[in-house]
Structure 1
Amino acid sequence: MNYHFDSSANAAELHTDCVVVGVYKHAKLSAAAAQIDAASAGAISQHLDFGDFTGDKNRTSMLYNLPGVTAKRVLLIGMGEKDKLTPEALTQMTQAAVNLLKNSKVHNAVSFLTDEIASEYIEAAVRQSVIAVADSLYTFDTYKSKKDDAPRTTLEGWTVAHTIAGEFTTALLQGNAIAEGMCISRDLANNPGNVCTPTYLADIAQELANSSNKVDINVLEEADMEALGMGSFLSVSKGSVEDGKMIILQYHGGNSGDAPFVLVGKGITFDTGGISLKPGNAMDEMKFDMTGAASVIGTLTACIAMQLPMNIIGVIAAAENMPGSKASKPGDIVTSMSGKTIEILNTDAEGRLVLCDALTYVERFNPVAVVDIATLTGACITALGHHICGLLSNNDALAEEVLAAGKQANDEAWRLPMGEKYHDQLKSNFADLANIGGPPGGTITAACFLSRFTESYPWAHLDIAGTAWKSGAAKGATGRPVPLLCQLLINRANA
C-alpha cells in the first residue's frame, strides 16, 4: 500500500477513484463533504433528504458520478455526534471505509476523515489512520494450499487529506512504519509452533540485523546461558528438543554512550504448560505465547524505518515449554542468573522463569529504562478482558509515560498495584521465592516475581495476555502492543 498526505485539498477537485468524507448525525456535513455538496449543486444534501443515511457512526453510503466532482465515487462515512469524535472513533470509521473499498474496484482513495479531529489530536489520528488501513487489509494465508476464492483487493493507494493547511507527512511515515512492524509481529505470531521455533525467531532477528548497519545481534545459546548461570531460563527450555535462545538486538540510533531503552519480550514459541499440562481445549492458541517477542521484533522494525534518534535494545527470551523427560517438575528448585533460588510450584508459570534471567542480563547495558512484554497470566484477562493491557511498574514516572503513550496510540494499558503485601504470596519454605503466588491477584504476583530481578533500573511490565490475539472466527494475532511501544519511543526520542 502506498500512503500520501495532501494538505489544503479541495475534495471536489481530486483525481482519484474515491473520495472519503464524513457526515455527522442529523445530516451535518464535514468540511470536505460541504465542498463536494457545493460543487455538485447539493447532491449530498439531496441524498441525505431521503433519510436512508443519517450519519450514524460507521455507517456508509456510496455515491457515483456526482456533477461537478472529479472523483468517480464519493464514500460517505457516518461520524456520529460531532462532540464525541475521538481518534479511536476515527480509526473505526477508517476501517469501515477500507472494509467496503477493499471489495470494490477502487485502486486509490483519498480520505478526509482526520480533517475533522481537534488540532491537538491530528498527528496521532494521521498515524492511526494508516495503521487502521493496514489492519483492515491484513491477511495471513501462507499455509493454505488454495488461497481464498475472493480476488485480492485492488486498493493500492491511500491519501490522507486535509482541507486546511498543515504538514503531517512525518506522522504518516511513522504510521506506515508502525503498520509494517505490526504486520511482521502478526506474521510471526500466526505462524504455527512447528515453524516458529526459537531458532526461527533467531533467524528472523538476524534478517532484521542484516537490514540495517545500525543494528547488531548476539544470540546466546544454551551453553552460553549455562555459563552465565541462567538456571531459571534453562529449567524451561530443557524439556524440549528445541534449544532455547536469548536473542539480543541492539539498534544504535542515538549517540555513542547514550543509555539504551530496553525492550524484553517473552518468546515461548509453544506452551504446553510442561509437567503442569494445560487442558487440551484451545491449546493450539499457545503458539501465541511468543507475541511479546514478536512485538519486540515488530517495534524494532518500525524504529529502524522511522530512524528514531535513540539507542534501543530488544531482548527475546525464546524457548518451548514441553513435558519432556528432562522437563522441570513441580517442587524443583533452580538458581537464577541473579543468584536467587526459585521453587517451581507450577511449570505453567514458565514465562516469568525465562524473563527473570533476561531482566538480570540487561543490567549490563545500564539501561535508562526497561519494559518487558509478555502474555504472562490468564488472570489479566479476568481482570481487564481483551481490550486493555495490564501495566505494573517499579517507577511512577515510567508508568505514566507508558499509560500516556497507550492513550495516544489507541493501544491502552491500565496500571495495577504492586505493593509489598502481594510479595508475601511468593514466599517459599525451601527457596528464596516461589514462581507462583496462588490464584488471588495472579497478574500482580507475577509482576512482583519479576520485580525481584529489576531493582537496579526503572522497569515496567506489560501483560498482554488479553490483547495479543483474538479467538473464535477472527482468530489471529493483533499486533499489539507495537503501537503503544512505538509511541512510547517516539515520545522519548522527541523529549
Structure 2
Amino acid sequence: MLAFQKIIPEALKRVSKIQTPYLQFKRTQVCVGHSQEKGIILGVYSDPDDVKGASFTQTALDFDKESGGKMSHALHVAGTIPKLGEYRLLLETHPGFSVVAMAGLGPECVGYNEVEDMDEEKENIRIATSVGARGLQNIGIRSIMTESMGSAESAAEGTALGVWVFQEMKEVKRQIPIPGIGLYDSCDYTGWQIGLQKASAQNLARQLSEIPSNILTPIGFAQSSVDILAKAGVSVEVKVKAWAKIMDLNAFLAAGSGSCEPPVFVELSYYGCEPDTPPLVLIGKGVTFNSGGLCLKTCEEQKDMRGDKSGAAVVVGAMRAASALNLPMNIRGIIPLTENMPGPCAVKPGDVIRSKSGKTIVVEDTDFDGRLMLADAMTYAGIYNPKAIISIGSHFGNTTTAKCWRLMWQTQATTT
C-alpha cells in the first residue's frame, strides 16, 4: 500500500467533502401552503415552425387550470414560448408556489435518435429540468419541486445537475445555498433515485475536475479515490513509481518525468457478476496539470489545464455509480496519474521511448503526454482479457495514433 507523503492537510479536508451528499430530496404528491422560497419546474413543448404554438405537459395543464389560466396568459403576454434550453419564470401564478419555471422541452414526441444512439426525449427532459432548476436557484429559491415530464429518472438527473455549483474553495458565507429538490407528480420513486445516483456520479466527476492542481496532485487524487470508492464497495489499488518501472510502463513514466510530483497508477475493481467474467475496462487520463512540458503551452492555454484530469474523474464517478446501482457486470478502472511539467529530467522532443508493448515511440511534441499514457495503459489493460475498453479523457489531436485502431482491426478486435 502506498505510504502517502506530504499530502496537503487542506486538500484532504476539502476533498473529503466530496463524500457528503450535497442534494436533499423528498417525495410528495400534494403541495399545500405557501412559501416564498418554494418553486416548481413544469414543462412546455414548442413547435420550431410555430414560435407562438405550444402545448403544456399534463401536469402543467392541471396547474394552469388551478391558477385560472394565469400561466398560459403570462406566456402569451411574454410573446414567445421557451425553446429547448430556455425557461420563463412566472411569479405568483399558483397559490402553492411563489415561482413557476416553465422549461422548454422542444418538439413533442421526438423519439430515439439512431444516429446519436440517444433517447432525445429523455435528453430534452434533462436539459429542461436543468435550466429550470438553475433559474430558480439564481433567484434564491430554497426548495425546488419538478414534474417528471414522462421520465422521473431523467427529471431527477437534470435537476440535480442544474443546482450543482463548484464552490468548495469559497468562504462559507460566500457560498450559494444548494436547494432541496423533490419529485412532484409521479410515483416512480425508484426512477427518481436512479436519476439522483447518475447525477451524483457526474457531479463528483465535475468536482474532481475543478479542484486546483496544487491541491489535487497525483498522490492527492489517489488518496481521494481511496476515500470515495472504498466505502462504496469498490476495490482500489495504488501503484507507485517503482512498480511502474518493474512493469515497463516507460511511456507513462516519461509523460511525468519533468515534475517533482511522483506518478501514481491506480487500479479500480468492481465485481457485479462472476469474477471470471471478462470485464469492461475504463481508462481515464489523469494529468492533474498539463503545462505542455518543454513544449510549453501559453498562459492562456494553461489556465484551464487542471481539467486535464477529467477522464480520471469520470472513471471514479462511473465506478461509484456502478456500485450504487448494483450493475450486473464486472468493471475495471485504470487511472494513470501524473503531472506534465518542464524540468531537468523532462522528456524532450526527439527522445525515443520503448513502451510496454515493446514498440518504440519518437516524441515529437512533449504536449502529447496523453498518447504516451494511453499507449501503456491500453497495453496493460490486456491482462484483464477485457470484452471492451473505453478510453476517457481530454485527448487532443490524433488519438487514433495512440489507440492503434488499424492494428486492433488487424487482430480482429471489435472497434467503434
Q: Do Structure 1 and Structure 2 share a fold, with TM-score over 0.5?
A: yes
Q: Are the counterparts in 1 of residues 41 and 129 from structure 2 also a CA contact under 8 Å? A: no
Correspondences of 1:296-315 after superposition (within 5 Å):
296-315=315-334
> Aligned in 2, Cα 1:234/1:223: closer, same or farther, shift over 3 Å?
same
Shift of 1:275: 1.9
Equivalent residue for 2:13?
A: none
Equivalent position amino acid for 2:24 in 1 = N
Q: Are the counterparts in 2 of residues 370 and 457 from structure 1 also a CA contact under 8 Å? A: no
Residue 21 (structure 1) aligned with residue 42 (structure 2)? yes
Q: Are the counterparts in 2 of residues 20 and 113 from structure 1 also a CA contact under 8 Å? A: no
List runs of 5+ in structure 1 lacking aligned partners.
Answer: 116-121, 380-441, 462-495
Q: Are the counterparts in 1 of residues 43 and 102 from structure 2 also a CA contact under 8 Å? A: yes
Residue 133 of structure 1: which of 159, 165, 172 is its match? 159
Runs of 4+ in 1 over 6 A off after TM superposition: 453-457
Residue 235 of structure 1: which of 237, 248, 254 is its match? 254
Equivalent position amino acid for 2:372 in 1 = L
Shift of 1:309: 2.1
Cα deviation code 1:438-486 (max 9, x no counterpart): xxxx3443443x775898795768xxxxxxxxxxxxxxxxxxxxxxxxx
Equivalent residue for 1:38?
A: 65
Q: Are the counterparts in 1 of residues 229 and 320 from structure 2 also a CA contact under 8 Å? A: no
Residue 276 (structure 1) aligned with residue 295 (structure 2)? yes
Q: Are the counterparts in 1 of residues 160 and 181 from structure 2 also a CA contact under 8 Å? A: no
Shift of 1:315: 0.6
Residue 181 of structure 2: which of 154, 157, 169 is its match? 157
Q: Are the counterparts in 1 of residues 291 and 340 from structure 2 also a CA contact under 8 Å? A: yes
Equivalent position amino acid for 1:176 in 2 = L
Which secondary structure state, in structure 2, belongs to the residue aligned with residue 239 of structure 1?
coil
Equivalent residue for 1:445?
A: 401
Q: Are the counterparts in 2 of residues 189 and 288 from structure 1 also a CA contact under 8 Å? A: yes
Q: Are the counterparts in 1 of residues 89 and 99 from structure 2 also a CA contact under 8 Å? A: no
Instruction: Measure the CA separation in 2 of the matches of 1:273 and 1:105.
Output: 42
Shift of 1:351: 0.9
Q: Are the counterparts in 2 of residues 189 and 287 from structure 1 also a CA contact under 8 Å? A: yes
> Aligned in 2, Cα 1:139/1:45: closer, same or farther, shift over 3 Å?
closer
Bigger mean CA deviation after superposition, 130-139 or 303-312: 130-139
Instruction: Measure the CA separation in 1 of the matches of 2:220 and 2:93.
Output: 51
Residue 131 of structure 2: which of 86, 93, 96 is its match? 96
> Aligned in 2, Cα 1:460/1:192: closer, same or farther, shift over 3 Å?
farther
Equivalent residue for 1:176?
A: 196
How many residue pairs match? The answer is 373
> Aligned in 2, Cα 1:107/1:224: closer, same or farther, shift over 3 Å?
same
Equivalent residue for 1:399?
A: none
Equivalent residue for 2:342?
A: 323
Residue 226 of structure 2: which of 182, 206, 220 is its match? 206
Equivalent position amino acid for 2:258 in 1 = G
Cα deviation code 1:188-212 (max 9, x no counterpart): 1111111111101110121134203
Residue 2 (structure 1) aligned with residue 30 (structure 2)? no
Residue 226 (structure 1) aligned with residue 245 (structure 2)? yes
Equivalent residue for 2:9?
A: none
Which secondary structure state, in structure 2, belongs to the residue aligned with residue 318 of structure 1?
strand
Correspondences of 1:55-204 after superposition (within 5 Å):
55-57=81-83, 58-64=86-92, 66=94, 70-71=96-97, 73-79=99-105, 81-82=107-108, 86-104=121-139, 106-112=141-147, 114-115=149-150, 122=151, 126-145=152-171, 147-148=173-174, 152-153=177-178, 155-159=179-183, 161-162=185-186, 168-204=188-224
Instruction: Measure the CA separation in 2 of the matches of 1:376 and 1:357.
Output: 15
Which secondary structure state, in structure 1, belongs to the residue aligned with residue 292 of structure 2?
coil
Which secondary structure state, in structure 1, belongs to the residue aligned with residue 390 of structure 2?
strand
Which secondary structure state, in structure 2, belongs to the residue aligned with residue 376 of structure 1?
coil
Q: Are the counterparts in 2 of residues 114 and 160 from structure 1 also a CA contact under 8 Å? A: no
> Aligned in 2, Cα 1:447/1:107: closer, same or farther, shift over 3 Å?
same
Equivalent residue for 2:16?
A: none
Equivalent residue for 1:416?
A: none
Cα deviation code 1:100-156 (max 9, x no counterpart): 3214454433322523xxxxxx4xxx33322322222222223235753x7524x21
Which secondary structure state, in structure 1, belongs to the residue aligned with residue 300 of structure 2?
coil
Shift of 1:322: 1.5
Which secondary structure state, in structure 2, belongs to the residue aligned with residue 51 of structure 1?
helix
Instruction: Measure the CA separation in 2 of the matches of 1:60 and 1:173.
Output: 27
Cα deviation code 1:154-213 (max 9, x no counterpart): x21321534xxxx6433322221121111221121111111111101110121134203x
Which secondary structure state, in structure 2, belongs to the residue aligned with residue 64 of structure 1?
strand
Give the % identical residues: 29
Normalising by structure 1, what TM-score?
0.68
Q: Are the counterparts in 1 of residues 234 and 319 from structure 2 also a CA contact under 8 Å? A: no
Q: Are the counterparts in 1 of residues 263 and 338 from structure 2 also a CA contact under 8 Å? A: yes
Equivalent position amino acid for 2:55 in 1 = K
Instruction: Measure the CA separation in 2 of the matches of 1:281 and 1:41.
Output: 54
Instruction: Measure the CA separation in 2 of the matches of 1:265 and 1:209.
Output: 15
> Aligned in 2, Cα 1:253/1:323: closer, same or farther, shift over 3 Å?
same
Q: Are the counterparts in 1 of residues 219 and 264 from structure 2 also a CA contact under 8 Å? A: yes
> Aligned in 2, Cα 1:454/1:374: closer, same or farther, shift over 3 Å?
farther
Equivalent position amino acid for 1:26 in 2 = G
Residue 364 of structure 2: which of 341, 345, 353 is its match? 345
List runs of 5+ in structure 2 lacking aligned partners.
Answer: 1-22, 46-51, 111-119
Which secondary structure state, in structure 2, belongs to the residue aligned with residue 28 of structure 1?
strand
Instruction: Measure the CA separation in 2 of the matches of 1:459 and 1:225.
Output: 28
Q: Are the counterparts in 2 of residues 4 and 172 from structure 1 also a CA contact under 8 Å? A: no
How large is the RMSD of aligned CA atoms in angstroms? 2.9
Instruction: Measure the CA separation in 1 of the matches of 2:80 and 2:292.
Output: 52
Equivalent residue for 2:7?
A: none
Residue 271 of structure 2: which of 245, 249, 252 is its match? 252
Normalising by structure 2, what TM-score?
0.80
Q: Are the counterparts in 2 of residues 186 and 294 from structure 1 also a CA contact under 8 Å? A: yes
